Amino acid sequence: MSDIADLLREQAARLFEREIGRSGRSDVGEAEIPTALWQAIDAAGLCDVMVPEHADGAGAGLPEALVLARLTGAHAAPVPLVETALARWIAQGHGLPIASGAASLAIAGPESAGGLAITGIPWGRAVGTVIGFVEGPEGWNILAVDPARAAIERAGNLAGEPRDTLRLDAGALADTVRAPLDPALLPAGPLALLALFRAAQMSGAMATALGMATRYASDRVQFGRPIGRFQAIQQMLAAMAGEAAASACATDAAGLAGPDNAEIMMAAAKARSSEAAGHVAAGAHQVLGAIGYTREHDLHRYTRRLWAWRDEAGNEAYWQSRLFRLVAQRGPDLWTALAPVSRDAGQE
């Protein structure tokens, strides 16, 4: 892992610990971005982490951005940081305009004569620009949508995070700036990229849920000893650790993949993480018992997000099928399909 990633991890972790503790804990089910937290994040430049240095960003790559995404999950940060960072990077890379402040992105429905609907937009109500991906006959187009020109319907996922719908009429759609997707920038396409970032967020939330459950098991005394002394509890927590580690490693590995391997690795990351999320959330609730099932306890901030995120940008069934098809396209020999090598790799 690079020095940039380590720096970023430290800086962002400190910021989240300080600011979420102070302002962010009333978030669930609320529609607004906590102002102080968001200002601290934007002032620290975290939203420009992927923007190239010549455009005043940090010029960090996918591995570093994934570190940040994992932290937003590990802290259940109630902000569209991942979305804004990706939207700014994609807008900059495609020469599209983007408003200052928070931004978001989502896959859009097909365009029609009547306009365009984009559903499931994270924080759609609270952002200045929505980057929409529209699949057309010639491939993907990227639209820089101004929410002020659209009708907004508010909705939320099961963690209470805003997931809104924007409806553009034909006129607003005609005025919207667009660019064809650059495969050099997004070799795996938009859905796989969104899936990978949700996977990274899930791996962070799983680490926190596992940590909470482990601490609780060490502290909670029943039958005269900490419940973590019981083998049944130990076995459950160990199995959760395995699931969390598999998610973290699959996510990391996808961030390191070259363009030819990117979608396969992103598909694996989301499929594995979405599957792991259910096990870890269920295990954490089992260990924490009734207190973990209350609104008062923090556990639900992580488990409700895990349940929401595992279905967003494609659930495990979707990505398992997609992964199978992607690997199958490489031919009938599974090993060379999974572990491709270029024959001249050693001569670089």
Contact between 218 and other proteins by CB under 8 A: the answer reads: yes
**Of residues 69, 271, 281, 313, which one binds other proteins by CB under 8 A?**
271
Q: How far apart are CA 98 and CA 127, in angstroms?
A: 10
Interface of this chain with other proteins, residues 224 to 263, rule: CB under 8 A: 228-229, 231, 233-235, 237-239, 241-243, 245-253, 255-256
Pairing of strands 139-145, 177-180: antiparallel
Q: Check if the beta carbon of residue 215 is closer than 8 Å to that of residue 233.
A: no
Count of chain residues binding other proteins (CB under 8 A): 60
Contact between 282 and other proteins by CB under 8 A: the answer reads: no
CB 317 → other proteins: shortest distance, Å? 5
CB 213 → other proteins: shortest distance, Å? 9
Partners of 104 in beta bridges: 130
Contact between 223 and other proteins by CB under 8 A: the answer reads: no
Stretch that binds other proteins, among 26-34, 117-125, 173-181, 223-231 (CB under 8 A): 223-231
Nearer to other proteins, 129 or 274 (CB): 274
CB 246 → other proteins: shortest distance, Å? 4
Contact between 3 and other proteins by CB under 8 A: the answer reads: no
Interface of this chain with other proteins, residues 289 to 308, rule: CB under 8 A: none
CB 60 → other proteins: shortest distance, Å? 16
CB 346 → other proteins: shortest distance, Å? 3
| Tokens describing residue 5 | 């990633």
Nearer to other proteins, 55 or 239 (CB): 239
Q: Is 346 exposed, middle or buried (0-12, 13-18, 19+ CB in 10 A)?
A: exposed
CB 233 → other proteins: shortest distance, Å? 8
The b/e string for 213-238 (b: 16+ C-beta within 10 A; e otherwise) is bbebbeebeeeeeebbeeeebeebbe
What are the CA-CA distances from residue 133 to residues 118, 119, 139, 178 (Å)? 9, 11, 10, 10
Report helix, strand or coil for 306: helix
Nearer to other proteins, 251 or 303 (CB): 251
Nearer to other proteins, 296 or 344 (CB): 344
| Tokens describing residue 233 | 């509890």
Stretch that binds other proteins, among 25-33, 71-79, 213-221, 301-309 (CB under 8 A): 213-221
What are the CA-CA distances from residue 183 to residues 63, 90, 315, 319, 333 (Å)? 19, 11, 24, 20, 27
Stretch that binds other proteins, among 133-141, 165-173, 299-307, 335-343 (CB under 8 A): 335-343
Residues 6+ apart with CB under 8 A from 84: 47, 102, 103, 104, 127
Nearer to other proteins, 156 or 226 (CB): 226
**Of residues 15, 191, 265, 281, which one binds other proteins by CB under 8 A?**
265
The b/e string for 134-166 (b: 16+ C-beta within 10 A; e otherwise) is bbeeeebbbbbbbbeebeeeeeebebbbbbbbb
Contact between 325 and other proteins by CB under 8 A: the answer reads: yes
Specify the DSSP element, H or E, that contains 119.
Answer: strand 115-122
Residues 6+ apart with CB under 8 A from 155: 120, 162, 163, 164, 165
Q: Which residues form the interface with other proteins (CB under 8 A)?
A: 1, 214, 217-218, 228-229, 231, 233-235, 237-239, 241-243, 245-253, 255-256, 264-265, 267-269, 271-272, 275, 316-317, 319-325, 327-328, 332-336, 338-339, 341-343, 345-348
